[in-house]
């Protein structure tokens, strides 16, 4: 059953990816949601394609889409859609962004796809069926220590002047091979699933940022929790995703940072 959902999600993500490629070739058309949060014609056009197609295939299902054009429904099935994850990169012409589509049944994620249309990289997973990268099985890395890890994180657009994550960024940078800040949480999670990064953490992400990536990481053999080690729920205040092997060490260091620095609490 999940297979059909996944096939639909893959087809739709690739369709939306075509729209993003077209829009990326044009001069950007930027507007603002609030003071800092960008939105472009590309976010809107991509969402239009995704919501129309999901609604056509699964008319009963609820759709939660970032730009607000989804649909409510009493169904226990809910699609989480980020039509363009990495809008700031997109708007600056930096080719690091993705489409993220996931289906949940109640609290259980069934299918997830993250698609980078510029590199034509497709990360996909269905619950219990493993994860793939461009059709080939994908696994998390085997690196077992923080000191030899490559990590990634992100910062929210709002409250960027004084965000506690800068304390974690600083500390984890000194204790690892480095911390990348690529600007697309969906791709960050996909890269943990693909073994490119050993771990990822962030504060304040929305369900559409993480739903697909969480399933990718789990199905690729990785672990997901919040930064304090409690179970992660979509939209929760923090997320920690790892190859499993460095999870406990990441948590220990996060707890140490929070203890040492009152400006960097573990929950926001
Ligand atoms: C953003 C990206 C970014 C993360 C931000 C998100 P958007 O999503 O995922 O990596 O740090 O918190 O809001 O706005 O580009 O869809
Ligand atoms: Ca996003
Ligand atoms: Ca977005």
Same domain, 132 and 154: no
User: How remote is the CA of residue 60 from the centroid of ligand 2, in Å?
Assistant: 25
172-184 as b/e: b if 16+ CB within 10 A: beebbeebeebbb
Q: Which atom of ligand 1 is nearest to the CA of 88?
A: 15
User: Which CATH number does the domain housing residue 42 bear?
Assistant: 3.30.540.10
- What is the residue with the minimal CA distance to atom 11 of ligand 1? 154
Residues with CB under 6 A from ligand 1: 82, 85-88, 154-157, 183-185, 205, 209
- Position 264 in a domain: no
Q: Of 97, 90, 79, 101, which Cα lies nearest the Cα of 41?
A: 90
pTM of structure: 0.95
Residue with the smallest CA separation from ligand 1 atom 16 is 85
State the average pLDDT for the chain: 93
- Is 70 exceeded by the pLDDT of residue 35? no
Q: What's the total number of domains in the chain?
A: 2
Location of structure tokens 């992660």: 232
Q: Are residues 123 and 174 in the same domain?
A: no
Over residues 151-169, the mean pLDDT reads 84
Task: Dump pLDDT digits (tens) for 240-252.
Answer: 999 999 999 999 9
pLDDT at 44: 93
- CA 203 to ligand 2 centroid distance, Å: 13
Are 12 and 130 members of one domain? yes
Please compute the mean of the pLDDT values over residues 61-71 and round it to a whole number.
Answer: 96
Last residue of a domain, which of 137, 166, 183?
137
In the prediction, which pLDDT does 29 show?
74
Q: Write down which residue in 120, 137, 154 finishes a domain.
A: 137
Residues 169 and 82 in one domain: no
CA 196-6-208 angle, to 5 degrees, is: 65
How many A from CA of 97 to the centre of ligand 3?
Answer: 9
Same domain, 151 and 95: no
**C-alpha of residue 69 to centroid of ligand 3, in Å:** 13
Position 159 scores a pLDDT of 63
The pLDDT value recorded for residue 1 is 42
Judgement on whether residues 121 and 224 belong to the same structural domain of the protein = no
Q: Which atom of ligand 1 is nearest to the CA of 186?
A: 9
Residue 2, pLDDT > 50, answer: no
Residues 93 and 120: their CA atoms lie apart, in Å, by 17
Q: Is the same domain home to 164 and 223?
A: yes
Taking the CA of residue 97 as reference, the ligand 1 atom at the shortest distance is 15
- Does some domain include residue 25? yes
Pocket test for ligand 1, best of 183, 211, 237, 241 (most atoms within 8 A of CB): 183
108-116/98-105 β-pairing: antiparallel
Which atom from ligand 1 is nearest to the alpha carbon of 66?
16
Q: Are residues 166 and 131 in the same domain?
A: no
* Structural domain containing residue 191: 146-259
Query: What number is the average pLDDT over the span 147-164?
Result: 85
Domain-ending residue, one of 102, 137, 172 = 137
CA of 20 to the centre of ligand 2 (A): 14
- Report the CATH number at residue 229: 3.40.190.80
Residues with beta carbon < 5 A to ion ligand 2? 82, 85, 209
pLDDT digits (tens, 9 = 90+) for 110-135: 999 999 999 999 999 999 999 999 99
267 occurs within a structural domain: no
| Residues 73 and 158 placed together within one structural domain of the fold | no
Q: Would residue 266 count as lying in a domain? A: no
101 lies in the same domain as 216? no
Residues 117, 71 share a domain: yes
Is 193 inside a domain boundary? yes
Whether residue 250 is found in the same domain as residue 156: yes
């Amino acid at each position: 059953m999940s297979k059909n959902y996944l096939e639909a999600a893959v087809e739709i993500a690739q369709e939306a990816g075509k729209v993003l490629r077209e829009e990326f070739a044009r001069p950007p058309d930027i507007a603002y949601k609030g003071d800092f949060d960008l939105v472009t014609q590309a976010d809107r056009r991509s969402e239009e394609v995704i919501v129309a197609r999901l609604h056509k295939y699964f008319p009963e299902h609820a759709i939660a889409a970032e730009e607000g054009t989804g649909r409510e429904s009493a169904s226990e099935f809910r699609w989480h859609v980020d039509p363009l994850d990495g809008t700031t990169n997109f708007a600056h012409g930096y080719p690091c962004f993705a489409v993220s589509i996931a289906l949940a049944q109640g609290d259980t994620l069934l299918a997830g796809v993250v698609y980078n249309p510029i590199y034509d990289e497709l990360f996909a997973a269905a619950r219990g069926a493993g994860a793939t990268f461009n059709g080939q099985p994908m696994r998390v890395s085997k690196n077992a220590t923080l000191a030899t890890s490559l990590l990634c994180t992100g910062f929210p657009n709002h409250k960027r002047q004084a965000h506690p994550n800068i304390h974690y960024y600083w500390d984890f940078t000194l204790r690892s091979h480095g911390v990348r800040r690529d600007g697309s949480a969906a791709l960050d999670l996909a890269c943990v699933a693909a073994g490119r990064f050993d771990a990822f953490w962030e504060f304040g992400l929305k369900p559409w940022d993480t739903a697909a990536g969480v399933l990718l990481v789990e199905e690729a053999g990785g672990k997901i929790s919040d930064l304090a080690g409690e179970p992660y729920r979509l939209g929760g205040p923090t997320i920690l995703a790892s190859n499993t092997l460095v999870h406990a060490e990441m948590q220990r260091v996060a707890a140490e940072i929070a203890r040492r620095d009152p400006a960097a609490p573990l929950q926001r």
